[in-house]
């Protein structure tokens, strides 16, 4: 996803097809959006559904207003796709059906389920910070939302949903925080992961002690599962992760980026020689 720095346009770019892009509705197409323009600086005033007022610069709108967008399937070859967005400021969930809608539509009643979202088994699954799930079916005239409220509450600082060859996984990431005294900024470091698989019969998360031959690749933009035997040099039961938490970490202030490889078997973390970038086998 790309958000233009000079206008509030939103477009999807393919890293494999640099000359092609798919345009989505702009920031203006959210129902609570108000814009205030000045001669030199353009400032955005955003009113939340609860009437809370916030102000954003162009750069802040580009970098953080929309936290994540995923698609139901690739727009190349089939233009009837759904786009699903997590809005960063108010944790609202929004969707857009290409070819049918002219604006983003907010899904009511799911504001707390903005930790992560995945397209799975024909619907969008969104999770809250404790592991409860909102299943959003967008195929009808209006969204149909089913809630799966799990009994156990899963802790951790960040959550990732992963489709692991048909299994729905929830990965909890644990961080340690400290203040970098040189820059007076909070930085974080990953110390642990826990992995859970959803039990459809019991309607609960069950913790996995071993991924066996599976490798998880985690990122705030997208996460995926691979089989180690299909990729030379990969080892099973490993979690590759990138820096997803703070701006100071991404700018490498106060130390290196928070990236590495976590061994689920013994809990050890190994550094990566460079900042990682992974491309999924398909856009979705």
Which domain covers residue 115, as residue numbers? 1-149
Residue 134 has pLDDT above 80, yes or no: yes
Kindly state the helix (H) or strand (E) to which residue 159 belongs, with its residue range: strand 158-164
| pLDDT tens-digit series, residues 26-45 | 655 565 555 554 444 566 77
Contact 190, 269 (CB under 8 A): yes
Q: Give yes or no: residues 11 and 136 share one domain.
A: yes
How crowded is residue 10: how many other Cβ atoms within 10 Å of its Cβ? 24
Number of domains within the chain: 2
- Domain final position from 101, 124, 149: 149
Q: Give yes or no: residues 123 and 210 share one domain.
A: no
Among 144, 162, 58, CA closest to 95:
144
Q: Give yes or no: residues 10 and 142 share one domain.
A: yes
| pLDDT tens-digit series, residues 182-198 | 766 778 889 999 999 99
Residues in Cβ contact with 102 at an 8 Å cutoff, skipping those fewer than 6 apart: 25, 29
pTM for the whole structure: 0.84
| pLDDT tens-digit series, residues 206-224 | 999 999 999 999 988 889 9
Residue 130 has pLDDT above 60, yes or no: yes
- Domain final position from 149, 184, 205: 149
Phi-psi region of 91 (alpha: psi -120 to 50; beta: other; left: phi over 0): left
Please give the angle made by the CA atoms of 161, 131 and 49, to the nearest 5 degrees: 90
- Domain final position from 119, 149, 179: 149
Residue 167 has pLDDT above 60, yes or no: yes
Mean pLDDT of the chain: 81
Give one DSSP letter per residue of 132-152, joined into a string: -EEEEE-SSSS-EEEEE--SS
Please give the angle made by the CA atoms of 95, 19 and 244, to the nearest 5 degrees: 50
Among 14, 25, 10, 2, CA closest to 100:
25
């Amino acid at each position: 996803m790309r958000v233009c720095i000079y206008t509030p346009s939103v477009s999807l770019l393919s890293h494999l097809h640099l000359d092609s892009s798919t345009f989505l509705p702009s920031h203006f197409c959210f129902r609570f959006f108000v814009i205030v323009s000045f001669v030199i600086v353009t400032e955005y005033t955003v009113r939340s559904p609860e009437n809370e007022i916030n102000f954003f610069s162009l750069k802040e709108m580009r970098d953080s207003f929309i936290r994540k967008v995923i698609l139901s399937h690739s727009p190349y070859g089939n233009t009837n796709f759904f786009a699903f967005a997590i809005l960063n400021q108010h944790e609202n969930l929004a969707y857009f059906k290409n070819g049918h809608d002219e604006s983003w539509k907010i899904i009511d009643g799911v504001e707390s389920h903005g930790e992560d979202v995945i397209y799975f088994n024909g619907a969008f699954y969104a999770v809250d910070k404790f592991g409860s799930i909102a299943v959003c079916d967008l195929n009808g005239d209006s969204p149909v939302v089913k809630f799966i409220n799990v009994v156990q509450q899963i802790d951790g600082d960040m959550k990732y949903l992963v489709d692991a060859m048909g299994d729905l996984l929830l990965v909890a990431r644990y961080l340690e925080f400290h203040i970098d005294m040189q820059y007076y900024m909070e930085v974080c470091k990953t110390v642990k992961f826990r992995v859970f698989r959803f039990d459809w019969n019991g309607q609960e998360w069950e913790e996995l002690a071993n991924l066996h031959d599976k490798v998880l690749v985690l990122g705030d933009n997208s996460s995926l599962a691979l089989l180690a035997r299909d990729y030379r040099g990969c080892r099973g039961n490993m979690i590759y992760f990138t820096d997803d938490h703070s701006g100071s970490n991404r700018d490498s202030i106060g130390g290196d980026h928070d990236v590495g490889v976590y061994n689920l078997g013994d809990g050890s973390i190994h550094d990566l020689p460079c900042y990682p970038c992974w491309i999924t086998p398909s856009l979705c």
